[in-house]
Amino acid sequence: MDSRFGLDRRVTLPGALALDGGGALSPVEIAYETHGRLDADAGNAVLICHALTMDQHVASPHPRTGKPGWWLTMVGPGKPIDTDRFLVICANVLGSCMGSSGPASLNPETGRPWGMAFPVITIRDMVRAQAMLLDHLGIARLAAVVGGSMGGMQALSWAATYSERVGAALVIASTARHSAQNIAFHEVGRQAVMADPRWNGGDYYDAEPPAAGLAVARMAAHITYLSEAGLTEKFGRRLQARDAKSFGFDADFQVESYLRHQGLSFVDRFDANSYLYITRAMDYFDLAEEHGGTLARAFSSATRFCLVSFDTDWLYPTAESRHIVHALNAAGAPASFVELASPYGHDAFLLDSPELARVVAGFLRA
Amino acid sequence: MSEAPLRRPTLRPDLEIIANHVEPRARVLDVGCGTGDLMAELRAHKQVDARGLEIDPANVAAAVARGLSVVQGDADVDLADYPSDSFDYAILSQTLQTARAPDRVLDELLRIGRRAFVSFPNFAHWRVRLSLLWGGRMPVTRLLPERWYDTPNIHHLTVDDFRAFLAERDVAVERSWFLSGDRARGAAAANLLSEHAIFLLHRRNQAF
């Protein structure tokens, strides 16, 4: 049994990771999981890139929450991303807090957690670290790279940075650049974290973490993952376990109670500084800017693309996917695009959708 | 892998003619490709690099699930985003009469493709003429099955309309085919006797 493959794997990358912001990070540890078997010619690897607060547990239980893998609808034997057919890899992104190097990791120079001394990273830095992981696994070329939301940004960055290593890129509910509105929402979240006195300039690892600030950040962000119609359908103006308004500031409404729960359960599994660093990386993402201002220059015809958007996603709306499709057409890249109908907003990509399953399975089978 | 069907699904007759006259290994854009029947045929039998544009999301999902490269979009809007001369053929089958601006769509088609196939139902076929003449109602026929209020065919045209339109715009007709009851027929009196027309076009100044 090759110890590089399986669940709960970790590797310290050989050498330093050069960063877009200048300088290099060393050592870099990457936590990852694989499902399925690598073919003898190593040609059946699919890399799944995860979203902001997700992790490598795409199809295995989360070690802290015990919840099932976050994309079980899509990944597994006989599923659209078929582990009987593909070797599926999912790695915790650089800057996160589930085993890969991030602000909570130890700074070798001080022997203490990096905190805000951790370098600011980019989506492309995350992708470079993943490329070094693939080198470690002996995979020269991916059959496909797949991702939703921030995972889609990584998939796009993969195709732009290592086109010769990517056979196909599947980009779901994502964007080629963060808009002013996207940045604005992230800034609200970061300021909520930093306004919590427990944040302490990012140095809280020996004390209580800034849970209140991080919970507010999560609450604000969570609203952007849902649609207005979805919220109305799920909660309306219904009251939470009471018959009348309290004329106070308890969570009178179900939607308030729900958001508070989302915030509180998030702080148990996520590091506040990681939230700052990863949202920053997303805000800095502008694939056209990395290619002289012309998005089409980011792409070659060596990679097949498929883009999927959801009609109620106002975080990364359909227009953003269309913008990418136009650039792919201009680059002559084989591209597919479909806008799927869903009442669930941005989160739709994580939910069970027969239409999405059909598109993903068909695109990967081609 | 899905198993190959026992019998190749039969292509619509106009698509069969187009499929038979596309050069092998060409680059093709199928505008209004539906679920990708023509693209699949061209890919399987002519090693064509086929791309599609289709307005209906369910059709796009079905085409992508067949492994075809299809973009959801509207011919009236989204053709503008394709670079000039990026395809050997641009194909518009039974879609011209549904466009809001068929003239602009045809201009875009001939800009994007070095050649264009255009097929459409002929509104001057004798059965349509008789239906309007004797019935006094908008014709509902086999090729035009919808009623006046729910038809997507908002710009009906005839073979002679199309020829005049091409002449005005300095577009050369390389070949044309006419169908009646799914069978090919000659060009004689095509405006009266053909139910369906297919034209292979190019810009007059086009170098090959």
Task: List residues of chain B with CB under 8 Å from any CB of chain A.
Answer: 1-2, 49, 51, 57-58, 60-73, 81-83, 86
In contact, A285 and A316? CB cutoff 8 Å: no
The answer on pLDDT for B206 being more than 90 is: no
Supply the CATH number for residue A245's domain: 1.10.1740.110
In a domain, residue B147? The reply is no
Query: Do residue A268 and residue A297 come from a single domain?
Result: no
Average pLDDT score over residue span B128-151: 90
In a domain, residue B112? The reply is yes
* Identified catalytic residue from A96, A101, A105, A149: A149
Give A138-199 as a DSSP string. Answer: T-SSBSEEEEETHHHHHHHHHHHH-GGGBSEEEEES--SB--HHHHHHHHHHHHHHHHSGGG
Q: How far is B81 from chain A (nearest CA, A)?
A: 6
Query: Do residue A151 and residue A236 come from a single domain?
Result: no
Q: How far is A307 from chain B (nearest CA, A)?
A: 9
Domain that holds residue A226: 182-279
Give pLDDT, residue B2.
42
In contact, A124 and A289? CB cutoff 8 Å: no
In contact, A337 and A201? CB cutoff 8 Å: no
Query: Do residue A163 and residue A200 come from a single domain?
Result: no
Query: Do residue A142 and residue A256 come from a single domain?
Result: no
Which structure tokens are listed for B138?
């908008």
Supply the CATH number for residue B54's domain: 3.40.50.150
Question: What is the rounded distance in angstroms from the CA atom of residue B177 to the CA atom of residue B187?
Answer: 7
Give pLDDT, residue B207.
73
Interface test with B, best of A44, A303, A337, A360 (most B CBs within 10 A): A337
ipTM of the complex in this document: 0.87
Out of A329, A334, A341, closest to residue B57 by CB: A341
In a domain, residue A1? The reply is no
The residue among A229, A255, A279 that closes a domain is A279
Model pLDDT for residues B171-205, shown as the tens digit of each residue:
999 999 999 988 888 889 999 999 999 999 999 88
Interface touch A366/B86, C-beta < 8 Å: no
Q: How many domains does chain B have?
A: 1
Average pLDDT score over residue span B54-68: 93
Interface touch B69/A334, C-beta < 8 Å: yes
Interface touch A366/B67, C-beta < 8 Å: yes
The residue among A264, A279, A294 that closes a domain is A279
Q: How many domains does chain A have?
A: 2
In a domain, residue B3? The reply is no
Domain that holds residue B110: 13-123+157-203
Give B174-185 as a DSSP string. Answer: EEEEEEETTEEE
Query: Do residue A293 and residue A271 come from a single domain?
Result: no
Q: How far is B40 from chain A (nearest CA, A)?
A: 12
Which structure tokens are listed for A341?
């109908």
Query: Do residue A175 and residue A186 come from a single domain?
Result: no
Query: Do residue A169 and residue A196 come from a single domain?
Result: no
Give pLDDT, residue A213.
98
Out of B49, B60, B67, closest to residue A338 by CB: B60
Low-confidence stretches of chain A (pLDDT < 70) are none
Q: Can A326 be counted among the known catalytic residues? A: no
Model pLDDT for residues B1-30, shown as the tens digit of each residue:
344 444 455 889 999 999 999 999 999 999
Query: Do residue A99 and residue A117 come from a single domain?
Result: yes
Supply the CATH number for residue A14's domain: 3.40.50.1820
In a domain, residue A4? The reply is no
Residue type, A117: A
Comparing B67 with B29, the larger pLDDT belongs to: B29
Give pLDDT, residue B128.
93
Give pLDDT, residue B204.
87
Name the residue with tokens 């027309």: B197
Question: What is the rounded distance in angstroms from the CA atom of residue A307 to the CA atom of residue A172?
Answer: 6
The residue among A219, A249, A279 that closes a domain is A279
In a domain, residue B78? The reply is yes
Question: What is the rounded distance in angstroms from the CA atom of residue A189 to the CA atom of residue A100?
Answer: 22
In a domain, residue B108? The reply is yes
Give pLDDT, residue B6.
42
Provide the mean pLDDT of chain B: 91
In a domain, residue B48? The reply is yes
In a domain, residue B63? The reply is yes
Give pLDDT, residue B7.
42
Of B8, B12, B18, B20, nearest in space to B182 by CA: B12
Q: Can A346 be counted among the known catalytic residues? A: yes
pTM (global) more than 0.90: yes
In a domain, residue A198? The reply is yes
Q: Which residues of B touch A304 (CB under 8 A)?
A: 69
| Cis omega (within 30 of 0) for bond into B121 | no
Give pLDDT, residue B9.
59
Query: Do residue A319 and residue A275 come from a single domain?
Result: no
* Identified catalytic residue from A55, A252, A313, A347: A313
The answer on pLDDT for B65 being more than 50 is: yes
Interface touch B51/A335, C-beta < 8 Å: yes
In a domain, residue B1? The reply is no
Query: Do residue A45 and residue A163 come from a single domain?
Result: yes
Query: Do residue A324 and residue A194 come from a single domain?
Result: no
In contact, B11 and B41? CB cutoff 8 Å: yes
